Amino acid sequence: MRELGPNEILFILAAVRWTLLLSVVAFIGGAIGGALVALARTSEFKWLRLLANGYIKLFQGTPLLMQLFLAFFVPGLFGWSVDPWMAAAIGLSLHASAFLGEIWRGAIEVVPRGQWEAATSLGLRYGPKMALVIVPQAVRIAIPPTIGFLVQLIKGTSLASIIGFVELTRAAQVINNATFRPFTIFALVAVVYYVICRPLSAYSKRMEQKLLVAAR
């Protein structure tokens, strides 16, 4: 059994970069997919709305852990080799796109109907209407819940450890298996997650309060 020393702690802290990188990649991928889902959910075409709604229900109604397992193992059935990093990025991006799509759909639909009618009266088609009138207003509304979801996504990256991706939680598991100091190790990990997520949570709450004041 090894002693828990500076090298072991540094190994855990060094894994923070992979947690942050995975969070950024998943958020970017989820943002791209979420924008498409949100636009599909508010589309004039019924089949697009139904397709987007089914996608949201699928990913919101199943555990993230299962989605990561499928992202890791399903490509192998078709002869494609996917490493844990790629599987985690794909699984989390698909997961994020469903939730961000629904968040942004709600923000779009909160925009007063008068704005929609005014854009229509100007002769704007769906694309220009969304780009020039609706989306700019929806973005401001969507910021607080989007940041709130980002916090959940960062914490959700810990599940990538189950498919072998060495992020913060997986690094802690490796060191714990060698040192058998679970309380110290996972308390440190909890503090690191708190330090990462707390500023984002505080910013989300502050933005939400600003929106409430502006709406009065």
| Tokens 């819940």 found at | 145
Phi–psi pair at 124, nearest 5 degrees: -75, 135
Among 48, 45, 107, 96, which residue's Cα sits nearest to residue 68?
Answer: 96
Q: Residue 22: enclosing H or E segment and its boundaries?
A: helix 16-41
Instruction: Report how far residue 96's alpha carbon sits from residue 104's, in angstroms, rounded to the nearest whole number.
Output: 12
Instruction: Report how far residue 187's alpha carbon sits from residue 184's, in angstroms, rounded to the nearest whole number.
Output: 5
Segments in 78-181 forming alpha helices (H): 84-110, 113-121, 126-129, 135-156, 168-179
Q: In sequence order, which residues have a C-beta less than 8 Å from that of residue 73 and are 6 or more positions away?
A: none
User: Which domains does the chain possess?
Assistant: 16-169 (1.10.3720.10)
Task: Give yes or no for a contact between 160 and 88, defined as CB atoms under 8 angstroms apart.
Answer: yes
Phi–psi pair at 41, nearest 5 degrees: -70, -25
What are the pLDDT tens digits along the chain (216 aa)?
A: 778 888 999 999 999 999 999 999 999 999 999 999 999 998 888 999 999 999 999 999 999 999 999 999 999 888 888 999 999 999 999 999 999 999 999 999 888 888 877 877 877 887 788 888 888 888 888 999 999 999 999 999 999 999 999 999 999 999 999 999 999 999 999 999 999 999 999 998 888 787 765 555
